[in-house]
Structure formats: C-alpha cells, structure tokens
Amino acid sequence: MGSLKVNLCGIELDNPVIPASGTFGYGYEFGELYDINVLGTFSFKGTTKDKRFGNPTPRIAECYMGMINAVGLQNPGVEKVISEELPKMRKYFNKKVMANVSGFSVDDYAYTCEKLDEIDDIGWLEVNVSCPNVHGGGMSFGTSPEAAAEVTKAVKSVTTKPVIIKLSPNVTDIVSIAKACEAAGADGISLINTLLGMRIDLRRKAPVIANKMGGFSGPAIFPVAVRMVYQVSHAVDIPVVGMGGVSSAEDVIEMMMAGATAVEVGAANLIDPYACRDIIADLPRVMEKYGIENLSDIIGAVK
C-alpha cells in the first residue's frame, strides 16, 4: 500500500484529513466514539481572547445539500481553553493539534496567538480572518489584503509556530488576499470558510435564524472551494489547506489535485460523527482505483 503521509508546514501528518474548526469541539467529544488518533490532526473550536456566549438562537438552519450557521464563536476564552479544555483533549489525542484563533482587533489576535504559542500540544495556529474588525467599521479582516496582512504580521511577531491564515470566500479577489498574507509571513493558507447564506421561514415570513444570515456550508459549496483552492495554490508558494463541502475520500483526492496539501472536513462531522474516520479508511481504496501510490505526489497535480 502507498503512503497517506503529507507534510504541513514542516510537520508530518499520518494522513491529510483534518476535522474543521467548529465541527469537532476539542476532540474529546468524538474521542468517546472512536480513536481520534487515526486523524492527521484536527482544528479545535475557534478561540477568542475573551469568553463568548455566541449569537442568539435559533442559529442553525438546514438547507438542501448543506446548512447555515451563525453560532457566533461561542467559546470559554483562551485562558479557559488552555486550563480546562486542552487537558481533557490530551486524554484522547496524542498528536499535534491545530488551534483556530479568532479576534475582533489586531491586538485580540496577537494576544490569543501568543498564549497558545506556549502550548506544546499545538502544532499550528489557524488564524480566522473572517471576523468583523471592530476598529475598522465592522468589515471582515479577510475582505482586505491590507487588513489580512496586518493580522498576519501581528501574529507572526509573537509566535514561533506555523501560522495558517484562514480566508473567507466572500470576496471578489481571494488570490490577492492570499498573496498579501504570504508576503506578510504566513506559513500557509486555509480556505474556504463558509459562504454567506440565508433561509426564510415561509409561515413566519421571517429569517429562520435569529442572526438573519449565516455561514453556508456543506456539499453544495464544494465546487466553489475546489476552484478557490486551485486559484490560491497556484498563486502562492506556501501550503494550502483545502475545505468546503468535503464529505468523501474522492473529495479529498480532488481537493489535493487542485492544490491542497491537507484537507479539512466540516459539516460532514455534524451529519455523521464517524465521517473523518471513514474517509481515512476509504482513502487506500480510492488511491488504488486511480493509480495513486503516494498522496503527497498528487498535490497540485492539476495544472
């Protein structure tokens, strides 16, 4: 059998499959169901400087071939994540984990990343720049190359671990933003985050979720994700982590051929808690079907 191993920013993964932030908690919830050490790694729940309760309910709506969520980054804050959540995670996961970081100012990002940089278990910092900039009129950091670069520089100045910037697809030119992050020192790019979506309750004549709009994810966005991963991976010289509607081993292969070094699985975990385990188990069959010896050989195979 060929090799499933890939190298992400200098750290070897047993396979490229990574549960995406916000869909896998802190790992221990799934660790009660199966041995999560079969994963390449996982990106734990988005962490902010301070505790957040999140958005009002209802905040999840089902859609055809997907879902909309507006959870609002509910988390206990970085201090509690370090003191309470990560010790529980260690009982189930013995590999390097990916920390997902969010913030509402450049200082927020820097503070949280500096705290998490001290933790040995953490291998990568995945910095989500899809958050609203409270000092910049509320626009997302990720909608501007300059703002995304500013966050990247601030985080890189206080960390020693690889920094992967997670980009929003809700922009007109994602390549320019990715290149700005690379120029500012990013070690990798992950994409795509959710598309902006909305559902309306016909009986109530009102939005289904309290926040009106939210992040649209699931299989319906997969072609958009593949396109953006292809565009970005061919424009930068740093690794790309692809995500967006991935739900099968075939999807993983397709995302890697588009240019992804590793692949995150999101909404599928909420439908089937064993999704990542089963995708990994199926990868050798799909590799054999398409004559793939080593997964690392197919990264960016489509020119």
Residues labelled as active-site residues: 131
Strand locations in 129-251 (E): 163-166, 188-191, 195-197, 200-201, 206-207, 214-217, 240-242
Amino acid at 257: M
3-state secondary structure of 200: strand
**Strands, E assignment, 150-291:** 163-166, 188-191, 195-197, 200-201, 206-207, 214-217, 240-242, 262-265
Handedness of CA 250, 182, 18, 140 (dihedral sign): negative
Residue whose token pair is 């949280």: 112
Q: Specify the 3-state DSSP secondary structure of 237.
A: coil
Cβ neighbours for 106, distance < 8 A, ≥ 6 positions apart: 135, 150, 151, 154
Q: How many CB atoms lie within 10 A of CB 268?
A: 24
Question: Going by C-beta distance under 8 Å and a sequence separation of 6 or more, which residues neighbour residue 288?
Answer: none
Cis amide leading into 192 (omega within 30): yes
